[in-house]
Homo-oligomer: A and B are copies of this chain.
Amino acid sequence: MFSIGELSRRTKVKVPTIRYYEEMGLLAEAERTSGNQRRYDKAGLERLSFIRHARDLGFSIEAILSLIELQDHPDRSCETATDIAVSQLSDVREKIKRLKLLEKELTRISKGCDGLGVSEDCYVLASLSDHEHCENEH
């Protein structure tokens, strides 16, 4: 059994974040000492590692809630899990697509001005004023 601080050190999840996950229902309510402090065991550590890893991969709290529910029922079909993963993947691909468009425009905009001129003649400001300068929709 270890404290919330120890759990934090082992998982690299900050203490207030652990408490937040408990409040959100991702972590079961921890056991408490007589003085009301949380104590965790190996199961708590593993669950938090799962949550942390899923968050690192960009899954939402809501998605993780579904994944955990599934994990708690080993006999259920795992269809939901793949659905969630596939949808997360397509979210990520969408974001990449959009960011690449932005990258293109921002590269052009940044290159257009060396910062040595005056605001009035600045290509950065002109480009922001008028989307017509842009090569793509974004």
Contact = CB atoms under 8 A, between A and B. Distances in A.
A59 B84 CA distance: 30
Q: How many copies does the complex hold?
A: 2
Interface string A1-28: 0000000000000000000000000000
Given A115-B78, A115-B79, A117-B78, A85 B129 contact: no
A125 B78 contact: yes
A57 B89 contact: no
Contacts of A61: none
Indicate the size class of the contact surface on chain A. Answer: 35 or more
Residue from A49, A57, A58, A96 having most chain B Cβ neighbours under 10 A: A57
Given A54-B128, A128-B57, A118 B82 contact: no
